[in-house]
Amino acid sequence: MAGIIESSPAHQNFSRYDIRVIIKFSVVLGKDASCIHKDLVTVLGENAPFIQTVRKWVKAVSEGRDDMEDEPRPDRPVTACGAANISKVLVSLSDDRRKTCERFLRKHRCLELPCLEF
């Protein structure tokens, strides 16, 4: 069929940035979120973003957003699991082996982390 691209492994190597640029380009062409999502599913198959994600980016582009990069998140830095923090955990646990995971996390202000990450 003319105009339809079959989903293939070669077409599935799009980054998030690539997909956002495609969404931006499609918005400029006047396509709506449903049409854009359908096109993405045609090309990317199960690797296509959810319709909610497409709607979010269509709205952002329509409101004037130009930058397609992720905005920095206010989460903890990646260094939270660095060697210094691992050492603190090991020292603290060696001081008192009876510490519960919850007590340890409360003391070290890490309640949002599941115990299994230690």
Task: Say if 71 falls within a structural domain.
Answer: no
- Residue 52 counted as domain residue: yes
22 with 54, same domain: the answer is: yes
Number of domains in the chain: 2
Q: What is the mean pLDDT of each run of 10 residues along the chain (118 residues)?
A: 49 82 95 96 92 95 83 65 71 72 66 50
Residue-range definition of the domain harbouring residue 43: 13-62
Q: Measure the CA–CA gap between 23 and 101, rounded to whole angstroms.
A: 45
In a domain, 3, yes or no: no
HSE of 102, CA atoms in CB hemisphere, 13 A:
0
Q: Is 21 inside a domain boundary? A: yes
Residue 78: per-residue pLDDT:
58
What CATH number did the domain enclosing 50 receive? 1.10.10.1450
- Model pLDDT, residue 108: 64
Greatest Cα pair distance in the chain: 70
Residues 58 and 94 in one domain: no
The answer to whether 12 and 44 have CB atoms below 8 angstroms apart is yes
Together in a domain, 58 and 17: yes
